[in-house]
Structure 1
């Protein structure tokens, strides 16, 4: 079941990585044009850099939030130590109540 829970995160990471790769490829193409002397797209290049930076930052922030939620949820499971003596006493009390109620 851990694999089923992991699949949506993996999909999101793959999508974000695809967007990142796409922005990086666009930026690389623009850089090559600028190096070739085609400077009319400088403004678009700066916008792509900002978009790439913002997208990467957003993905990392969201990933951190998901990781924190996952850690918080996992931290609540089994947090306290089991008091086996208290559990044994409680079971004994309940059995005694059942015996009294059953007349035995």
Structure 2
């Protein structure tokens, strides 16, 4: 399952739980207190679904950033960086007399 598909699934779960909670709220307002027990469970389910959606969204954002980072100018050339540091240190030694 791709990350986008996981977000779609998590979003669908979130919508279903939110719809159930909305129906329960309407029942409670109309005086149907028999559904009150289900409301607590629906609220907990909604919290879990919300966390799932946010977690998947963060995962997709991280994957996109990782992919975008790979498209950049390329890899870091550590050998060239080491040579440049050595060159600059040599210049500083010559300039400082040490």
TM-score by length of 2: 0.62
For residues 27-63 of structure 1, what are the alpha-carbon distances to aligned partners after superposition, in whole Å with 9 as ceiling and x for unaligned? 1111111111111221210110111122111211222
Question: Is residue 73 from structure 1 mapped to residue 84 from structure 2 by the alignment?
Answer: no
Task: Give the corresponding residue for 1:9.
Answer: 3
SS in 1 for 2:72: coil
Note the residue ranges of structure 2 that are not aligned, 5 or more in a row. 76-98
Q: Quote the RMSD (CA, aligned, Å).
A: 2.9
Relative CO higher for 1 or 2, CA cutoff 8 Å, sep ≥ 6?
A: 2
Task: Give the corresponding residue for 1:44.
Answer: 38
Task: Give the corresponding residue for 1:20.
Answer: 14
Q: Runs of 4 or more off by more than 6 Å in structure 1?
A: none
Aligned length: 78
Q: Distance in 2 between matches of 1:70 and 1:27?
A: 33
